[in-house]
Amino acid sequence: MAVSLIPLTAAVSGALPLTNGGTGLTAGGPAFGVTRTGSNQSISNATATKVQLNTEEFDTANCFDSTTNYRFTPNVAGYYQLNGAVALNATTMTIIVGFIYKNGSQFKRGTDIRTTLNVDSLVTVSALVYANGTTDYFELYAYINASSGSPIFVADSTSTYFNGSLVRAA
C-alpha cells in the first residue's frame, strides 16, 4: 500500500506518499463501526469481559467479526484510530473501566472511575494503534465492580459501540 517517494515536480496520481508527507494510502483502508443491540449482556462482577458487539453499522473491508469473536482484524498494515464506549449498569458500582485489547491482552485503558455510582454509566477508550494487517486483532472489554445488583453491558447503539479506521499506512 505504501508508495515510493515521488519528486514534487512529477505529476502525482493517487495518494501522496508518506515520504512526501502524505498518508501513503492509494485507496480507502478498512473502517468499521459496530454496536451492541438486542439484549443487554450480563457479565460477572469484577471480571474484565469482552463486549459482544453484534450489529455492524459499516464494515468496509469485512474486517470485524460481529458473530463469533467480536474482534477487528484489519487486513491492511498501518496505524488505526480506534474508539470504544460501553454503557454499564448495576444497582451500585464502585469501579468501572474500559479497555482495548490487542491480540488477547490488555493494551490500552480508558475511563477508570473509582467511586460509588448508582446510575447508568459510560466508559470510553480510544487509541492510535499499529496493526500488521494479517494477524493483529483488537477487541473492546469493560469491567464493573458492583457492590450490589447484577452488572450488565447495556444494549444501546448510541452508547455501546466500537469503531475505527486506517489513518496511515505502515
Instruction: Give me the residues that bind another protein (CB under 8 A), please.
Output: 41, 43-52, 69-70, 94-95, 97, 104, 106, 112, 114, 141, 143, 145
Q: Which is nearer to another protein, 26 or 45 (CB)?
A: 45
Q: Which is nearer to another protein, 80 or 99 (CB)?
A: 99
In whole angstroms, the minimum distance from the beta carbon of 142 to another protein comes to 11
| 78 beta partners | 131, 169
Place of cell 508518506: 18
Q: Which is nearer to another protein, 114 or 128 (CB)?
A: 114
Please report, to the nearest 10 degrees, the dihedral formed by the alpha carbons of residues 21, 23, 16, 58 taken in order. -160
In whole angstroms, the minimum distance from the beta carbon of 49 to another protein comes to 4
Distances in Å between the Cα of 94 and the Cα atoms of 50, 99, 109, 154 are: 20, 17, 17, 17
The span from the first CA to the last CA of the chain, in angstroms, equals 8
Phi and psi for 41 in degrees, rounded to 5?
Answer: -100, 110
In whole angstroms, the minimum distance from the beta carbon of 50 to another protein comes to 4
Q: Which is nearer to another protein, 20 or 40 (CB)?
A: 40
In whole angstroms, the minimum distance from the beta carbon of 48 to another protein comes to 5
Q: Which is nearer to another protein, 91 or 106 (CB)?
A: 106
In whole angstroms, the minimum distance from the beta carbon of 145 to another protein comes to 5
Query: In whole angstroms, what is the distance from residue 14 CA to residue 63 CA?
Result: 24
In this structure, what C-alpha cell is assigned to residue 108? 490500552
